[in-house]
């Protein structure tokens, strides 16, 4: 399902955090948002997953204006994996994943055999079946992140928002998470710090700086030495294969 923002602005106090953002996520693309700390990536995603209300502008989910859709309805269509996972109450892992099913249920409706099967499949997909009886708050950061991915999978939505999804994860689990998400074949928008991860998985990338989109395109169009210098103030080495295809980015620490 398409996610489209038109002229989204957000100010807090006298600080203009988002200065008119137009993005479009369509055709089951995996779209990355990159940009330095404080550039507005999380704020933009929070507007999309309705944690924050834009000061102005429109966010469309499919052909509906997001602000007019009941929260429960949008939760059937859009799931979120963010970097902060904290529950005051000591939930069991299984119950956290089962929460992914709640947008699909009526008030007081009991969990069905199908719900349990979906939850079991989600836990298996992230390799966390053996943790299902554990208390969520006792898991490591990386284990928690995989459980929150399982919850998002159990939600069975048409699009997914990822805010720094690989935070806490070791390299194996970073690649596992990104591959699982890529394999869903749905629209994904993800804030990503690691340019190599963005390069590997994103179909398109938006570059955010000081609350504005300053570049957009495929990873090889966007990730140039000049842009990385402008945005991150570092000297990058752009590594290409013999066919000129961008394969990785490394950094010159001696300059
Ligand atoms: N509630 C708030 N009050 C004041 N400033 C805020 C608030 N929320 C966010 N900001 C500011 O807005 C800017 C953008 O923050 P945001 O978290 O969106 O950046 P980000 O690109 O996700 O950064 P990071 O890469 O560090 O996660 C930052 O300067 C931040 O301090």
Q: Which atom of ligand 1 is nearest to the CA of 163?
A: 22
Measured at the CA of 49, the angle between CA 210 and CA 33, to 5 degrees, comes to 40
Among 8, 15, 163, say which to mutate for ligand 1: greatest number of ligand atoms within 8 Å of CB. Answer: 15
Residue 3 phi/psi, 5-degree rounding, is -120, 125
pLDDT of residue 111: 83
18 CA distance to ligand 1 middle (Å):
10
pLDDT of residue 166: 86
pLDDT bin (cut points 50, 70, 90) of residue 165 is: confident
Q: Provide the 3-class DSSP secondary structure of residue 110.
A: coil
ipTM field:
0.97
Q: Classify residue 229 by its DSSP letter.
A: H
pLDDT bin (cut points 50, 70, 90) of residue 255 is: low
pLDDT of residue 85: 67
Give yes or no for residue 37 CB within 6 A of ligand 1. yes
Q: Classify residue 112 by its DSSP letter.
A: P
pLDDT bin (cut points 50, 70, 90) of residue 50 is: very high
Give yes or no for residue 39 CB within 6 A of ligand 1. yes
Residue with tokens 């089951």: 28
Q: Provide the 3-class DSSP secondary structure of residue 34.
A: strand
Q: How many CB atoms lie within 10 A of CB 87?
A: 13
Mean pLDDT of 124-153: 93
Residue 152 confidence (pLDDT) above 90: yes
pLDDT of residue 5: 97
Give yes or no for residue 181 CB within 6 A of ligand 1. no
pLDDT bin (cut points 50, 70, 90) of residue 112 is: confident
Total number of residues shown for the chain: 255
Q: How many CB atoms lie within 10 A of CB 127?
A: 15
Nearest CA to ligand 1 atom 31: 38
59 CA distance to ligand 1 middle (Å):
20
């Amino acid at each position: 399902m398409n996610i489209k923002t038109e002229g989204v602005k957000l100010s807090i106090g006298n600080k203009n955090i988002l200065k008119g953002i137009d993005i479009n996520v369509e055709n089951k693309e995996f779209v990355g948002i990159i940009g330095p700390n404080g550039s507005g990536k999380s704020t933009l995603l929070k507007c999309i997953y309705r944690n924050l209300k834009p000061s102005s502008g429109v966010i469309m989910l499919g052909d509906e204006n997001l602000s007019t859709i009941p929260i429960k309805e949008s939760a059937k269509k859009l799931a979120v994996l963010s970097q902060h996972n904290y529950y005051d109450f000591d939930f069991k892992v299984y119950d956290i994943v089962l929460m992914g099913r709640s947008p699909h249920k009526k008030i007081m409706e009991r969990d069905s055999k199908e719900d349990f099967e979906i939850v079991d499949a989600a836990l298996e997909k992230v390799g966390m079946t053996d943790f299902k009886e554990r208390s969520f708050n006792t898991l490591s950061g990386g284990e928690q992140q995989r459980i929150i991915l399982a919850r998002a999978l159990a939600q069975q939505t048409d699009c997914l928002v990822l805010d720094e999804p690989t935070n806490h994860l070791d390299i194996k689990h970073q690649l596992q998470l990104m591959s699982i998400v890529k394999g869903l074949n749905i629209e994904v928008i993800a804030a990503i710090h690691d340019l190599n991860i963005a390069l590997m998985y994103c179909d398109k990338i938006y570059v955010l700086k000081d609350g504005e989109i300053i570049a957009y395109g495929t990873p090889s169009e966007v990730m140039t030495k000049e842009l990385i210098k402008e945005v991150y103030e570092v000297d990058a080495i752009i590594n290409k294969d013999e066919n000129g295809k961008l394969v990785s980015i490394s950094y010159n620490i001696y300059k």
